[in-house]
Amino acid sequence: MKSTYAKLQGGERFDDLSEERIADILERLHPEYDARATFYLRDDAWLSAFGCVSDGFGMSHQSSSAAPIMYCSQTLSLPEARTLIARFIRGEPEWRGTLRWRVESRALRVGIALVVVAVTVSILILFARDIAAWF
């Protein structure tokens, strides 16, 4: 097996990752701290799980530093996340299975940011107008 490893968001590292440790690592995740665990085949090939056992796990991955970051469209249970991660660390070619993955759209992020700015400016203008009307 390749020298895989995992890191929690808080920095704790698990070297020489085995499939048996996956569930233990996922069970350590907590929404208020260490909310993400990233499993590495190499420094530039990783699969991240974020969430917690009670709410389920979101997944993201990058296959190389030049590849886009992909996000799973579904929330996975602990057994589903454990199976997906085990297939990933074994290097199975079809580790993604039948899950739907999407590329994060930069245009979407920019669009959302513009809407937030527009709403904020509108609120400030209305607030300033109301204050000016008082005087």
- Please give the average pLDDT of every successive group of 10 residues along the chain, which has 135 residues: 81 84 89 84 91 90 87 92 93 88 69 73 84 83
Say how many CA atoms lie within 13 Å of 119 toward its Cβ. 6
Helices and strands (H and E) in the chain: how many: 3, 7
Same domain, 99 and 110: no
How far apart (Å, rounded) are the C-alpha atoms in residues 53 and 19? 17
Same domain, 114 and 83: no
The pLDDT, as a whole number, for residue 105 is 62
The pLDDT, as a whole number, for residue 109 is 60
The domain tally of the chain equals 2
Strands (E), the chain: 5-8, 13-14, 36-42, 45-52, 56-62, 70-72, 101-103
pTM comes to: 0.72
- Range of the structural domain that residue 109 is part of: 105-135
